[in-house]
């Protein structure tokens, strides 16, 4: 009888530890989002000057939670050593001399990503985003396989195929649809996804997580949708615009 009690006690401790390690409100996927400056600037931003000819970082987004800690204010002095890379790899296309874009990304997504010990500071969050951005090196991979800005149109399957074959995961590709009657779509944003341990993951993979909490953690994060971006149509030609 005593042996059974000890076994049950050990099982209870193990289950308790599992809940501590994997809290029910923890995000299960990170979305590394790149955007194409020419498309972004052509959409709605007259003050935006698309003089960048490579894919830049839009953000690193956990799949659950938005604005998780409004009291955790952005402080650029904590990422001072990262700023030279941030200005190149993660530029604010609207206000190049401002830190407002990074402040926005930290408040909306970084404070939620910080639920994980590996991302629980501003420096950890921004440095990991930059590390993943450089590791993926999306711009170079597309160029390597002849997916380059051009006046010609691509099939969406061509772009998807290059990414899937190289990284062995499915991306999420978003386009701008100029009008309801347009016979083409404009390449705008590409998402590459990661597990919590930062290994690559199919972006289409969904996780079921039950929770009884209130607030933002009840639903998967509605990822940043710059006005006009939506999932690309497989049956429509894709225009990958060069610099104007």
Give catalytic status of residue 105 as yes or no: yes
pLDDT of residue 23 exceeding 80, the answer is no
Q: What is the 3-state secondary structure (H, E, C) of the chain?
A: CHHHHHHHHHHHHHHHHHHHHCCCCCCCCEEEEEECHHHHHHHHCCCCCCCCCCCEEEEEEECECCCCCCCCCCCHHHHHHHHHHHHHHCCCCCCCCCCHHHHHHHHHHHHHHCCCHHHCCHHHHHHHHHHHHHHHCHHHHHHHCCCCCCCCEECHHHHHHHHHHHHCCCCEEEEECCCCCCCCEEEEEEEEEECCCCCEECCCCCCCCCCCCCCHHHCECCCCCCCCEEECCCCCCEECCCCC
Residue 12 has pLDDT above 90, yes or no: no
* pLDDT mean over 38-63: 89
User: Does residue 6 form part of some domain?
Assistant: no
Mean pLDDT for the chain overall: 85
Q: Which of 34, 35, 107, 109 is catalytic?
A: 109
Dig out the tokens for 45 from the structure.
Answer: 């931003």
Residue 42 in any domain: the answer is yes
CA 200 vs CA 9, 18, 60, 129: distances in Å: 37, 23, 14, 14
- Which of 43-52, 67-76, 77-86, 202-211 has the least mean pLDDT? 202-211
Buried b vs exposed e over 131-149: b needs ≥16 C-beta within 10 Å?
ebbeebebbebbeeeebeb
Catalytic residue list contains 58? yes
Catalytic residue among 35, 105, 107, 191: 105
Number of domains in the chain: 1
Whether residue 25 is contained in a domain is answered as no
For residue 78, the enclosing domain spans 30-240
Q: Report if residue 18 sits inside a domain.
A: no
Q: What's the whole-number mean pLDDT along residues 105-125?
A: 97
Residue identified by tokens 């501003």 is 122
From 34, 35, 58, 107, active-site residue: 58
Residue 129 lies in a domain: yes
Q: Is residue 20 part of a domain?
A: no
Looking at the chain, the whole-number percentage of residues with pLDDT higher than 70 is 80
State residue 35's pLDDT score.
Answer: 96
Evaluate whether residue 172 is within a structural domain.
yes
pLDDT digits (tens, 9 = 90+) for 128-166: 999 999 999 999 999 999 999 999 999 999 999 999 999
Domain of 88, CATH number, reads: 3.90.730.10
């Amino acid at each position: 009888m005593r042996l059974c009690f000890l076994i049950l006690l050990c099982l209870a401790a193990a289950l308790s530890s599992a809940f501590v390690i994997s809290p029910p409100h923890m995000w299960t996927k990170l979305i590394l989002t790149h955007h194409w400056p020419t498309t972004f600037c052509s959409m709605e931003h007259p003050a935006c000057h698309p003089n960048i000819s490579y894919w830049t970082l839009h953000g690193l987004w956990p799949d659950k939670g938005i604005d998780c800690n409004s009291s955790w204010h952005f402080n650029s002095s904590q990422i001072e050593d990262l700023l030279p890379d941030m200005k190149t790899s993660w530029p604010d296309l609207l206000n190049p001399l401002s830190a407002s874009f990074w402040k926005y990304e930290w408040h909306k997504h970084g404070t939620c990503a910080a639920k994980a010990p590996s991302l629980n500071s501003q420096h950890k969050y921004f440095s990991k985003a930059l590390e993943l951005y450089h590791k993926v090196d999306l711009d170079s991979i597309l160029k390597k396989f002849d997916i380059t800005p051009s006046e010609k149109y691509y099939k969406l399957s061509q772009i998807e195929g290059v990414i899937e074959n190289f990284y062995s995961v499915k991306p999420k590709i978003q386009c701008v649809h100029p009008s309801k009657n347009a016979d083409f779509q404009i390449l705008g944003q590409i998402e590459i996804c990661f597990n919590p341990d930062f290994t690559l993951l199919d972006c289409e993979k969904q996780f079921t997580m039950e929770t009884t909490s209130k607030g933002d953690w009840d639903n998967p994060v509605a990822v940043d949708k710059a006005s006009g971006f939506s999932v690309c149509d497989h049956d429509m030609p894709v225009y990958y615009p060069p610099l104007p």
